[in-house]
Amino acid sequence: MSLTNRGKIRIWEIVFRGQYNGGALPTNLYIRLVTSATAPTVDTNLVSELTEIASGNGYTAGGFSLSKNSTDFDTLTEDDTNNRGDILIKDVAWTASGGPLPASGNGARYAVLTDDNATDANREVLAFWDLTTDRSVSDTQDLTLQDLGLRLNEAA
């Protein structure tokens, strides 16, 4: 997992200022799947900079909605020994239905965490995970992301 530089700023705003991007905190966050065509980096700011997998067959454009609660962010751990906090997101799954997932094109190479901006292309990329290879599944099979983690620590 890597936090984007934008994600680091937004987390600071949420925690220390109680605001987000000068306005209200996001109601939901999203996990979406993107291809290797435009790999996210720590300098990626917006969804418009990435190529989402094709929608259909069980995948909806925009990804999987997460509520900011203890069900969707199911593990919060304070690690005083290593001076960090660890956050785990619940397992997220898509079931291919009516054909393969993705419906066409390249498989999912990255999962990205975004805010809930009303304009999809302007959703901010807060973090991303490299799935190590393009991921696709056949009709009726599940594509499951388990234990997506965020580790927050301070470098000395």
pLDDT at 60: 96
Residue 87's alpha-carbon distances to 7, 70, 98, 125, in angstroms, are 14, 10, 34, 17
pLDDT of residue 67: 87
- C-alpha 156/C-alpha 113 separation (Å) is 26
* 92, β-bridge pairs: 145
Query: Domain coordinates of the chain in residue numbers?
Result: 2-153
**Statement: residue 20 has pLDDT above 80:** no
Rounded mean pLDDT, 103-124 = 94
Mean per-residue pLDDT, 32-60: 96
Task: Provide the percentage of residues in the chain whose pLDDT is more than 90.
Answer: 58
pLDDT digits (tens, 9 = 90+) for 130-145: 999 999 999 999 999 9
Residue type, 102: P
